[in-house]
Structure 1
């Protein structure tokens, strides 16, 4: 797991761990991440199963409830089959754009 931090943004990139192991590591390190927006980059995995995406549901819901963004990046995930509570985009740039829009919405009280 590679962790890059810029101001109020954390980018977690999956290396060798399985998605389940990655989720466990994120949950363990969550106290360090809780005040930042989070991007989880899974583009090192070409095919991510729906069951793997659902593993992120608890941490995503917990994080979004605190008014912070949680975005997963992967080109191979079929977003039509994933829960609406999880934001998934194909590129890092789109993840940055989503977070920027959500920050503006929160600042405007929307």
Structure 2
């Protein structure tokens, strides 16, 4: 798992760990980047099952409750089955766009 910082955005990139391992590592390291928007880049993985993506639900809900964005990047998932509480996009650029839109919404008080 690689962690990169770009301004107020932390990008977590999968290398070899399974999704449960990634979620566990994010949870253990959460204090380091809890005040940043988070992008979890899973684009190097193969097809992701619903059961796997749901592993992110708790950490995503916690992070979003603190008024920060949590976006997962994968183009190998059936978006129709992703819970509404999770934000999953097919590219890094779209993740940045989502964060920008959510920051504007927060600035406007939504």
Normalising TM by the smaller chain, what interval? over 0.9
Question: Cα offset for 1:46?
Answer: 2.1
Q: Which residue of 2 aligns with 1:51?
A: 51
* 1:57-76 paired onto structure 2 within 5 Å: 57-76=57-76
- Verify the 8 A CA contact 1:46 1:74 in the aligned structure 2: no
Query: Which stretch shifts more, 53-62 or 75-84?
Result: 75-84
Q: Which residue of 1 aligns with 2:82?
A: 82
- Verify the 8 A CA contact 1:46 1:75 in the aligned structure 2: no
TM-superposition CA deviations, 1:10-30 (whole Å, max 9, x none): 000000000000000000000
Q: Which residue of 2 aligns with 1:3?
A: 3
**Equivalent-residue separation in structure 1 for 2:107 and 2:57 (angstroms):** 25
**Equivalent-residue separation in structure 2 for 1:100 and 1:74 (angstroms):** 19
Q: Which runs of 5+ in 1 are unaligned?
A: none
TM-score, normalised relative to structure 1: 0.98
Q: Which residue of 1 aligns with 2:21?
A: 21
Q: Which runs of 5+ in 2 are unaligned?
A: none
Question: Cα offset for 1:44?
Answer: 0.6
**Equivalent-residue separation in structure 2 for 1:68 and 1:82 (angstroms):** 20
Q: Which residue of 2 aligns with 1:99?
A: 99
TM-superposition CA deviations, 1:58-85 (whole Å, max 9, x none): 0000000000000000001111101100
**Equivalent-residue separation in structure 2 for 1:93 and 1:57 (angstroms):** 22
> What RMSD, in angstroms, separates the aligned Cα atoms of the two structures?
0.5
**Equivalent-residue separation in structure 1 for 2:33 and 2:77 (angstroms):** 24
Aligned length: 110
